[in-house]
Amino acid sequence: MVRVVRAAQRCGGPASQGSGFLGLKQRHILFMALGGSVGAGLFLGSGGAIHQAGSSVLVAYVLCGIIVFFIGRAAAELALSDPGGRTLNAFVGRYLGPRMEFLTGWSYWLIWTLVCISEITAAGIFVRYWFPAVPQWSVAAVLGGVLLAVGSRAVATFGEMEFWLAIIKIWAIVALILCGLATIVLHVGLAGPGASFAHIWQAGTMLPHGAAGFAAILPMALFAFGGTEVVALTAAETEDAVRVLPRAVNGIVGRIVVFYVGSLAIIMAIVPWGEADATHSPFVLAFTHMGLPTAAASINAVMALAALSSCNTGLYATSRTLASLAEGGMASARLRDRAANGVPALAFAASFVTVLAGVVLNYFLPDRLFGYAIQGVSFLLIFVWVTIMAAHLAYRRGADGGAGAGAGTRRVAALPWAPASNLVAIAFLLAIGLDIVWVGRLYVPFALDAVWLGGLLLARERLFRVQRP
């Protein structure tokens, strides 16, 4: 069966069609990326962003949403330019060389591993809201078992789970927006008389800490959209990918911007700006001000499920990336084997074992692990996004008649305004990197990520020397 799956992929069709098992549908792809993007960053982390930048946080999310739209469309165009539907790191290798493929693939794997660890840690924190005596590591272990059971089944099962988990998050956001509008327009609830959209633009609210405060929250806003590019990993397991992926990318970013900007606008119209901070969920504060304490308490359940959803998407991304690296000779060849249901079983198991290390770390670092994991993602995600945009530039040069690897390729889901949009996105991402170092002063994560990339180069030269035609 493994040989049948590989043959289907080589022939240019998704494995799901070649081997008879169901693949991902448009709703799966859409909600999968939503699930990876709408998580603790919105339900918990946005409180700190509001406190730092005031209502200018809305501008930050719109601006970053546009940049991530460019990245998502570039990734989708690369994924659909080859009927084989290979993964992102393989396209980076095709247009930027095997060294960059190695760096990008392993870095992307580490990014999602750290995201999984951070999200499973966040889920443990949220569950302790009801059960404070339950050890945080035990919650992470139980949730990890659930993810193992789902991730080892056919991809359609994974897609269904992600669809329903994302639906719950969206219901919570829609409930906040509708209840907030009733409070603001109809003046119902405890916050009714004082709630007003005028709070968003009143004096002292737009830039309470000046331009420095706005610059400080730009990385937070940008990374909140992380996961949108994961749709490109699904090309080989998506039914009618040429039709589905472009629609999914277009819908994902628009919906994310609406959810983030819409919910935060409601929150700032109801909750006094000074009350928002990084230690409390702004959703809980908003429902409390509206006189809905039960809804406020239920947000913790939504946040726990949101974290589980993000981790679910992360395990999908890590397993497919690891299998792709194995297929390219950049990891153990055994990791490329797929089970009868199309899942790269050994790659999934290896990724899951790595995430289990997060459960162990939860035991030793229950209060600091979440922050450490998130900081470790920052620079690596910028690196991966920049390489995606650079690879797309190289592809377009060939597709537009040059001598590159994309020469003569028919464009599907073309990135709008390329190559200008590529250059704008790359410049923005590099500026965010500088912002993190100088404004955020995250010198240690920057140094550790630099050591990681240097170690990968050394490992490639010593262990996985691969020459692609």
pLDDT digits (tens, 9 = 90+) for 50-106: 888 888 999 998 899 899 889 988 988 888 877 555 678 888 888 999 999 999 999
- Can you give the pTM of this predicted structure? 0.84
Look at the domain 25-461 and name its fold. Answer: Amino acid/polyamine transporter I (1.20.1740)
Task: Report the chain's terminal Cα–Cα distance, integer Å.
Answer: 28
**CA–CA dist 229, 248 (Å, integer):** 11
**CA–CA dist 21, 315 (Å, integer):** 20
Collect all residues with Cβ–Cβ distance below 8 Å to 280 and sequence separation of at least 6.
47
**CA–CA dist 141, 357 (Å, integer):** 10
Give helix 46-53 / helix 241-270 axis angle, nearest 10°.
Answer: 60
Per-residue pLDDT of the chain (469 residues; tens, 9 = 90+): 333 333 333 333 333 333 334 466 767 666 766 665 666 677 777 888 888 888 899 999 889 989 988 998 898 888 887 755 567 888 888 899 999 999 999 999 999 888 888 777 777 777 777 778 888 778 778 877 888 777 767 666 777 777 888 788 888 888 999 999 988 888 776 665 678 888 888 877 888 888 888 988 888 888 877 777 877 777 666 677 777 777 777 776 677 777 888 999 999 999 877 787 777 788 888 888 888 888 877 887 888 887 787 787 888 888 889 998 998 889 988 898 888 777 888 998 888 888 887 777 767 776 666 666 677 788 999 999 999 999 999 998 876 554 445 544 556 668 889 999 999 999 999 999 998 888 778 888 888 899 999 999 998 887 766 544 4
Question: For 15-32, b where at least 16 C-beta lie within 10 A, e where not — what string?
Answer: bbbbbebbbbbbbbbbbb
**CA–CA dist 380, 362 (Å, integer):** 23
The H or E element spanning position 272 is none
Q: If you write DSSP's letter for every residue of 69-120 in order, what string do you get?
A: HHHHHHHHHHHHSSTT---HHHHHHHHH-HHHHHHHHHHHHHHHHHHHHHHH
3-state secondary structure of 24: strand
Residue 360: per-residue pLDDT = 78
3-state secondary structure of 206: coil
Token digits for 30? 């859409």
**CA–CA dist 110, 112 (Å, integer):** 6
Token digits for 62? 């719109």
Residue type for 239, please?
E
Residue type for 291, please?
G
Token digits for 131? 């059960």
Residue 236: per-residue pLDDT = 63
Question: For 441-461, b where at least 16 C-beta lie within 10 A, e where not — what string?
Answer: ebeebbeebeebeeebeeebe
Q: Name the maximum alpha-carbon separation found in the chain.
A: 69
In Å, how far from its chain's centre is CA 157? 20
**CA–CA dist 7, 15 (Å, integer):** 9
3-state secondary structure of 238: strand
Which residue ranges make up each domain of the chain?
Answer: 25-461
For residue 238, the cross-strand partners are 24
Asked if 29 and 231 touch (Cβ cutoff 8 Å), the reply is: yes
